[in-house]
Amino acid sequence: MTTTEVVERSSDRPPQVQPGRRWVKLGLAVVCLAIAAMWVYALFFASKKAAYRVDDVAWRQHAQATCAIYEQRRLTLVDTSEGYIAHPTNEQMVQRADVVDAATDLLEQELNDITAFPVVTARDQRLVDKYRGYFEILLQDRRVYTQALRAFELQSYGETKVDGGPVTNIIIDFATVNEMKSCSPPGELGGDI
């Protein structure tokens, strides 16, 4: 009598899932579902309104027209087409401070004019107030710069950081989404960008 040995092949057995892998697969499935849900919400249910968008069209148009007038006034303050003096004398630093102060005065008047114009909703008023707050930071930075120039301390024009970047980033975002290109802040002297 011959004995036949049955040899089981490993491929005949169903694969056994290791217990740790079930949790990994379940975790990946949950993550994929969460990402899918986020995209469904973002595409179909979330507000499509820009964070800084003022709904009041009349206010936006008034702001753009007002800023355009002040922009033209600032452009007449100084010609910067030939660049800056790399090593200015004390007198030239005071002259630069005078130009920056004159440009800052115009920016302050511009801000007062556009923020005095009434808006319709409380949400719009909150946005305009935020814009004003950020712009006031910029005005203060410009005043600090001219104080340094008047003390004969030649330094680069710097801005307060807000949310990791210069305050002008937020002001430019606000001006862009509200179609107020002329309300974007100028460079330090007022006509340069």
Write down the residue that tokens 């814009």 correspond to.
Answer: 131
User: pLDDT value at position 142?
Assistant: 93
Query: Six-digit token pair at 90?
Result: 């004390």
Same domain, 39 and 104: no
User: pLDDT value at position 133?
Assistant: 95
The H or E element spanning position 162 is: strand 161-162
Same domain, 95 and 69: yes
In the predicted model, is pLDDT for residue 1 greater than 70?
no
Query: Six-digit token pair at 67?
Result: 């800023």
**CA–CA separation, 138 vs 144, rounded Å?**
10
Per-residue DSSP letter, 110: H
User: pLDDT value at position 9?
Assistant: 55
**CA–CA separation, 154 vs 93, rounded Å?**
8
Under 8 Å between Cβ of 111 and 132: yes
Tell me the C-alpha to C-alpha distance, in Å, between residue 71 and each of 40, 74, 123: 44, 5, 28
In the predicted model, is pLDDT for residue 192 greater than 70?
no
- The 10s digit of each residue's pLDDT in 57-85 is 999 999 999 999 999 999 888 776 666 67
In a domain, 50, yes or no: no
Same domain, 67 and 113: yes
In a domain, 156, yes or no: yes
pTM (predicted TM-score): 0.70
Of residues 47 and 160, the one with the higher pLDDT is 160
In a domain, 52, yes or no: no
- The 10s digit of each residue's pLDDT in 83-122 is 667 788 899 889 889 999 999 999 999 999 999 999 999 9
Same domain, 30 and 106: no
Query: Structural domain of residue 91, as residue ranges?
Result: 57-78+85-183
Tell me the C-alpha to C-alpha distance, in Å, between residue 35 and each of 28, 41, 126, 138, 188: 11, 10, 32, 39, 44
Of residues 184 and 85, the one with the higher pLDDT is 184
Burial of 131: CB neighbours in 10 Å, binned 0-12, 13-18, 19+: buried
Number of structural domains the chain divides into: 2
User: pLDDT value at position 193?
Assistant: 40
Same domain, 39 and 98: no
User: pLDDT value at position 65?
Assistant: 96
- The 10s digit of each residue's pLDDT in 138-181 is 999 999 999 999 999 888 888 889 888 899 999 999 999 999 99
In a domain, 93, yes or no: yes
Same domain, 68 and 92: yes
User: pLDDT value at position 18?
Assistant: 63
Q: What is the mean pLDDT of the chain?
A: 83
